Amino acid sequence: MEYHNAAEMNGSDDYLNICKHNNLCREENDSNDSADANKLSHIEKAYSTILSELGEDVDREGLLRTPLRAAKAMQFLTKGYKETTQDILNDAIFDENHEEMVIVKDIELFSLCEHHLVPFFGKAHIAYLPNKKVVGLSKLARIVEIYSRRLQVQERLTKQIAAAISEALQPAGVAVVIEAVHMCMVMRGVQKMNASTVTSVMMGRFNDDPTTRKEFLDLTIKK
Amino acid sequence: MEHSKHTQYASSEKKDPLDPGSVFNGHFDGLAERPAGGTGRAAAAPQPPGGAESGSQRPVMESWREERTRSVEDNEMSLPSLAKSYTTILRGLGEDPQRQGLLKTPWRAATAMQFFTKGYQEKIIDVLNDAIFDEDHDEMVIVKDIDMFSMCEHHLVPIFGRVHIGYLPNKRVLGLSKLARIVEIYSRRLQVQERLTKQIAVAITEALQPTGVGVVIEATHMCMVMRGVQKMNSKTVTSTMLGVFREDPKTRDEFLTLIRS
């Protein structure tokens, strides 16, 4: 799976790895529409079992179509597995003589904790220092979507977003900060309502130059 | 498996609607004043065969007698099957259940889901019986901003928000945390926000026979935020007003103003 490679991403050849995997995915998708429907019915049956094991009455009106709805919802929440950065970015990279910081902040983010299958959500702030190549701004948000609509761990999510931008644009620096609330901590377990988790990845000049990093943080993190 | 609260709620409609003091389908038909102690109503409330507390002074309302649908042993016994279902789901989504991060996920997700539906294991009567006190107080009591977490029964995705409860005691008050516990019992289930609001209001009504009860819930539904229409900032507000909260606009206004302040 792509995320395996992504988790160890550090070099520039990883983008090629993603490309290879993307091609495989596409071929599989073409011939797998019926397999998709098959998978949906497996997931649906699993949810039926879950409902009855939880002690609910599966025949009551409100729950009649819940297994199907829950299965479709889960597929939507993990649709990032089928999407690739290459698909969305290829035609939106422009040559622009710009080398100053570009920030897109407060990008809403919704993901699923891979440990409890419970949502976590929050905001992502992304900044990069273009190296004569800029990317369409919505594409940064789309990259967040691709990687967040998966079973994730917030640390890995942050790193994948940073790596994807880094490899697509070869900028002078990339910074990604994610601040999220984890329902697995709020709704269950320790049950801390107001706790949020912040992770950040700084690459290139954001890592090396403290003033650049400070500028990014000042412009992004509301006090 | 026993039928869930849905059928018990329906059974409350069997009460005689002409009885002036009875609670019919959760709505007060009777007068605001009723005898303190509620002994007069013990005869009015229909005693089901095998009703547990015919000798007690407190009337046993049918929706109190919630059949416990789950026990701790049930939980342990269903865990392997739940975990197996979650493994199927992981595979169906295209994930690799054998990778390190997902190895124990089926068990964790199963236990989490059981926690999110632990309301099925609990009964109101266990939580409330010893926290009702006779107090010469008939002014409004409000507990607001009670954090609430529930599960949408249509998509199995979280709902979370706040509950505001107000009631006008009729010489009987309830331990304040018990209001929050009532919220917990009913919210930790597969729910619909409208039903949840009503169940909380009815439970308080039946426990205390107050002059009136008001419950307002404002919540965010992840099924609307994370998927579907994807409206990030939308909130759903539902309310149930019973007794004098429903009949007297000034009381209702006072309640709504105080919960907003």
Q: Express each pLDDT in A7-18 by its tens digit.
A: 333 333 344 334
Chain A residue with Cα closest to B83: A50
Cβ atoms of residues A156 and A113 within 8 Å: no
Residues of B labelled as active-site residues: 152-155, 193, 221, 223
**Whether A119 and B157 lie within 8 Å, measured CB to CB:** yes
Q: Which residues in chain A are contacts of B100 at CB distance < 8 A? A: none
The minimal CB distance from B153 to the residues A50, A66, A108 is found for A66
DSSP 8-state code for residue B68: P
Mean per-residue pLDDT of chain B: 80
Q: Tell me, what DSSP letter sits at residue B50?
A: T
Q: Is A114 a catalytic residue?
A: yes
CB B106 within 8 A of CB B87: yes
Contact B147 A193 (CB under 8 A): yes
Mean pLDDT comparison of A35-44, B116-125, B214-223, highest-scoring range: B214-223
Beta-carbon count within 10 A of B243 CB: 25
Spatial CA neighbour of A9 closest among A129, A146, A155, A109: A155
Which of the listed ranges A31-35, B23-27, B50-54, B235-239 does the model predict with the highest average pLDDT? B235-239
Residues A131, A172: contact at Cβ < 8 Å? yes
Determine the residue of chain A that is closest to B114 in CA distance.
A54
DSSP state for residue A202 in the 8-state scheme: E
Chain A residue closest to B221 (CA)? Answer: A119
Does position B11 have pLDDT exceeding 70, yes or no? Answer: no
CB pairs under 8 A between A and B: 156
ipTM of the complex: 0.81
Chain B positions touching A47 (Cβ under 8 A) are 85, 89, 156
Given an 8 Å threshold on Cβ–Cβ distance, is B190 in contact with A56?
yes
Inter-chain CB proximity B93 and A43 less than 8 Å: yes
What's the pLDDT score for residue B235? 95
CA angle B211, B215, B219 (to 5 degrees): 180
The per-residue pLDDT for range B58-103, each reduced to its tens digit, is: 444 444 445 557 888 888 999 999 999 999 999 999 999 999 999 9
Other beta carbons less than 10 A from residue A30's beta carbon: 7
pLDDT in tens, A106-158: 999 999 999 999 999 999 999 999 998 999 999 999 999 999 999 999 999 99
Q: Which of A50, A77, A82 sits opposite B227 (nearest CB)?
A: A77
So what's the pLDDT on residue B150?
A: 96
Give start and end residues of each alpha helix (H) in B13-137. Answer: 39-44, 72-92, 105-116, 124-128
Is A61 within 8 Å of A90 (Cβ atoms)? no
CA–CA distance, A124 with B60 (Å, rounded to integer): 53
C-alpha dist (Å) from residue A177 to A8, A169, A221, B11, B232: 19, 19, 9, 53, 20
HSE-CB for B220 with a 13 A CA cutoff: 12
Confidence at residue B248, expressed as pLDDT on a 0 to 100 scale:
96
Taking the CA atoms of A119, B145, B236 and B246 in sequence, report the sign of the dihedral they define: positive
CB nearest B105 (choices: A81, A117, A183): A117
Coil/strand/helix, residue A205 = helix
Q: Flag whether pLDDT at B167 surpasses 60.
A: yes
